[in-house]
A and B are shown apart, each in its own frame.
Chain A
């Protein structure tokens, strides 16, 4: 009886998701493509206007022993998403809010510094106070010249994220918040929620494993939610790691984990 009820609810939800989120029913111009085909497929086209959260880097997905004062935002991923937003509307601006999520400016360029469109079109707002940060995000989202806001979202509560999501949705903007990984348990009104961790590799390029924790309107149980991203140092772009998994890296990580536990 209960299983039947749950199945009906799931069917209704999937139908609703298809109706509201299928590429046919929505304008393609609203999406910000992540540039990663598999992920865009799961998201039914890309990131929708609204709030998206990236929980900061931890050594591994399960690590909780990090000091809470020290966290690292997923800067390379944020830079990649900023490029994607700018690709959608090249004459607009990307605003970076909060000291902690200001990347090293050299990474805002591509092709060994020859393509510096993102650097040209970036505004930096250095703030640490939560209330002022929230005000600045709200203000910039309302500006017609801004296409995306990348901000430090630490210490924002549910009400603040809902406010930001609504403003972003109303003005058809994308806001990406970088949050510390220990705020995973915090309530949030974000459209999507991601978690990233460093991924050991044998290649010369940094890798990150990312996990889609939540996506409104998409049933994640039936889809792949974990991917590996790799940085192409020469072009400065992030791409999904090839289907051939780096088993050596995985084995080493497992071995290290085991060694840490035994210690």
Chain B
């Protein structure tokens, strides 16, 4: 197996300013990575930014924030792009790619042409890559980073590695320092020593790295996974600006896509439509469904309003429909029975209803209610998105396990407690008279109090409330409470 290594590290840029990537910890900014020019001026990783600035000979320096996660994502994106050179490509974090090019050289007229093509392609992306082709991953890694030339072909691993420094074996800094103490600086010196001695003195990691570099121990490339999803596309002869034509094509493609999914027994959960526009960025429409569906009529009813709002620009050249997410679906026989027989039919019908409602009203307008473990009435229930599953919807939490008293709760709870004026016969007793919304009421019957305490950790709320159920002289039952801290009275709900 021949591996190839590409890196993009310390490359000098004679006509450009030095580039520093800086990470910030508290108020201290340190250099996380630097270009070749900065490195040649003496800038090292871990150095403070002020120190690095003082070392740089050119005052013009470009400083960027170090974003390792974003860099890793970019590297994965680059790995996907590099799949055109080999079917087996893996990112080597933080700044390299590993390609298994075994057998691929025939497609590029030889190994030399293959590597030169890769180098030229990276040049077009403005990435100055260094490449090495070697029988093992370890040797390719070492030669690409520490070799003399930009493109290197390794045939004899030991000969290629011997002159390189020990750090080319991907060793930890501690192991490198330990080797340096005994004046072992080149890999060739390690080859001359007995392996048992090396393992005892410097640990298993060193032996493992030597074996990986020489091919004694196999090393796998963690290949990037490419997601493939069912897709259909159609290219027009020229730019099309008429909506009816685009709609017609999208509708036909939708039929094709659903037909494509049928043998797999799957339905669309997330549909993506891309309209390739002339001299403009593609128009992307994404449709997320509550329940997988391959019912063309339903999908089209959701897609058509979105398509009508799409901007065709100077014309559409091509249309692509992809089922970005698809899930298993029950068999077609159910549709004969109007699609609602059985639990799957019910779920599909519920999913279709939710899709239509959410499509027009928005995600937040359609909800279920779930109980929460709290005694505070306004917090005892929360809105939750409806999840449709095969067979049945998700069961909400059991109420009696939450400890909420449901027998003494009003049928209507106001969004905010409404202040009232009351008169009580005894201090802190139930009200005998109240004034609410400008009207006066006599209290005929009152029951309570039911004391509800707010959580002690919630400082924004009042701590305790004494709730009373009162019947006014007009027959209306209200849920009123006295705030224990302020002594004020409020109406919180009513039995309507």
A74 contacts B496, C-beta separation under 8 Å: yes
Partner of B475, one of A109, A146, A198, A234: A198
Which segment of A2-10, A34-42, A135-143, A154-162 sits at the interface?
A135-143
Cross-chain contact B406 with A107 (CB below 8 angstroms)? yes
B310 at the interface (CB under 8 A from A): no
Q: Which residue of A lies closest to B347 (CB)?
A: A145
Asked if A116 lies at the interface with its beta carbon under 8 angstroms from chain B, I say yes
B471 & A73 in contact (Cβ 8 Å cutoff): no
A202 and B367 contacting across the interface, CB-CB below 8 Å: no
Contact with A along B377-417 (1 / 0, CB 8 A): 10011010010000001011011101011111111110000
Of the residues A75, A113, A199, A206, contact of B404 by C-beta under 8 Å: A113
Return the CB mask of A181-223 against B: 1 if under 8 Å, else 0.
0000000000000000111111010110000000000000000
How far is it, in angstroms, between the C-alpha of A231 and the C-alpha of B352 when the chains are bound?
37
- The answer to the question of A240 belonging to the interface, with a C-beta cut-off of 8 Å to chain B, is no
Q: Which residues of B contact A59 (CB under 8 A)?
A: 474-476
Chain A 44-60 residues near chain B, CB threshold 8 A: 57, 59-60
Q: Smallest distance from the beta carbon of B472 to chain A beta carbons, Å?
A: 8
* Chain A residue with Cβ nearest B396: A120
Taking CB as reference atom, which chain A residue is nearest B382?
A: A105
Chain B residues positioned under 8 Å from A145 (CB to CB): 340, 346, 349-350, 353
**Distance, CA A256 to CA B441, complexed state (A):** 11
Taking the complex as formed, is A252 at the interface, i.e. its CB lies under 8 A from any CB of chain B?
yes
Which of B369, B393, B473 is in CB contact (< 8 Å) with A119?
B369
Partner of B494, one of A72, A146, A201: A72
B346 A139 Cβ-Cβ under 8 A:
no
Distance of B5 from chain A, by nearest CB (Å): 57
Please tell me which one of the listed residues A72, A122, A123, A135 contacts residue B412 in the complex, with CB atoms under 8 A apart: A72
Shortest distance in angstroms between B279's beta carbon and chain A's nearest beta carbon?
Answer: 38
B289 to chain A, nearest CB (A): 15
Q: A105-B381, A116-B399 are in contact. Are A204 and B437 (CB under 8 A)?
A: no
Complex: chain B residue closest to A231, CB-CB: B495
Q: A65's closest neighbor in chain B, by CB?
A: B439
Given contacts A59-B475, A104-B411, contact A202 B445 (CB under 8 A): yes
B447 interfacial contact with A, CB 8 Å: yes
Residue of A nearest to B351 (CB): A145
Among B339, B356, B447, which residue has the most Cβ atoms of chain A within 10 A?
Answer: B356
Docked-complex contact A104 and B353, CB < 8 angstroms? no
Interface of A is mostly: mixed
Q: A75-B496, A103-B411, A143-B352 are contacts. A124–B368 as well, Cβ < 8 Å?
A: yes
Question: Of all chain B residues, which has the CB nearest A143?
Answer: B353
Q: In whole angstroms, how far apart are the Cα atoms of A75 and B360 in the complex?
A: 27
Tell me, rounded to whole Å, the shortest Cβ–Cβ distance linking A64 to chain B. Answer: 14
A204 and B444 alpha carbons, distance in the complex (Å)? 11
Chain A residues whose CB sits within 8 angstroms of the CB of B193 once the complex forms: none
- Output the least CB separation between A227 and chain B (Å): 15
A148 CA to B233 CA, complexed, in Å: 42
Most buried by A among B357, B406, B473: B406
| CB within 8 Å of A: which B406-440 residues | 406-413, 437
Question: Contacts of B367 on A, CB cut-off 8 Å?
Answer: 123-124, 126
Interface flag for A151 (CB, 8 Å): no
Contact flag A112-B412 (CB < 8 Å), given A120-B395, A122-B369, A200-B475: no
Q: Would you list which residues of chain B between 440 and 496 have a CB under 8 Å from chain A? A: 444-445, 447, 471, 473-477, 493-496
- Interfacial chain B residues near A231, Cβ < 8 Å: 495
Is B406 a contact of A113 with CB atoms below 8 Å? yes
What separation, in Å, do the CA atoms of A144 and B298 have in the docked complex? 14
- Contact flags B343-380 to A (C-beta < 8 A → 1, else 0): 00010011011101100110011111101000001001
Q: Decide yes or no whether A17 CB sits under 8 A from chain B.
A: no
A253 located at the interface, meaning its Cβ lies under 8 Å from any Cβ of chain B in the complex: yes
Whether, in the assembled complex, B264 has its beta carbon less than 8 Å from a beta carbon of chain A, the answer is no
B353 touches A146 (CB 8 A): yes
Would you give the shortest CB distance from A77 to chain B, in whole angstroms? 9
Closest to B479 in A: A104
Q: Give Cα A73–Cα B356 distance, bound, in whole angstroms.
A: 27
Question: When the two chains form their complex, are residues B395 and A201 in contact, meaning their CB atoms are under 8 A apart?
Answer: no
Given A75-B412, A104-B411, A124-B368, are A109 and B406 neighbors across the interface (CB < 8 Å)?
A: yes
Q: List A contacts of B349 (CB < 8 A).
A: 143-145
Cβ distance A248 to chain B, nearest Cβ, rounded Å: 10
The answer to the question of A91 belonging to the interface, with a C-beta cut-off of 8 Å to chain B, is yes
Is B407 a contact partner of A103 (Cβ separation < 8 A)? no
> What's the Cα separation between A139 and B354 when bound, in Å?
10
B338 close to chain A: CB less than 8 A = yes
| Neighbouring B residues of A253 by C-beta, 8 Å | 475
B409–A104 CB distance below 8 A: yes
Q: Which residues of B contact A204 (CB under 8 A)?
A: 445, 447
27 contacts between A and B (CB under 8 A): A70-B437, A76-B411, A76-B495, A79-B411, A104-B413, A105-B380, A106-B409, A107-B409, A109-B406, A112-B400, A113-B399, A123-B386, A124-B368, A125-B365, A135-B360, A139-B357, A145-B340, A145-B346, A197-B475, A200-B473, A200-B474, A200-B475, A204-B445, A206-B471, A206-B495, A233-B407, A252-B444
Q: Could you list which residues of chain A lie within 8 angstroms of chain B, going by C-beta atoms?
A: 57, 59-60, 70, 72-76, 79, 91, 93, 103-109, 112-114, 116, 119-120, 122-127, 132, 135-136, 139-140, 143-146, 197-202, 204, 206-207, 231, 233-234, 236, 249, 252-253, 256
Query: Top 4 A-B pairs ranked by shortest CB distance?
Result: A113-B399, A198-B475, A200-B475, A75-B411
Extra 16 A-B pairs, beta carbons < 8 Å, given A135-B360, A144-B349, A256-B474: A60-B474, A76-B495, A76-B496, A79-B411, A104-B409, A104-B493, A106-B380, A106-B399, A112-B405, A114-B400, A119-B369, A136-B361, A143-B350, A145-B350, A200-B475, A236-B407
| Residues of chain B at the chain A interface (Cβ within 8 Å) | 338-340, 346, 349-350, 352-354, 356-357, 360-361, 364-369, 371, 377, 380-381, 383, 386, 393, 395-396, 398-400, 402, 404-413, 437, 444-445, 447, 471, 473-477, 493-496
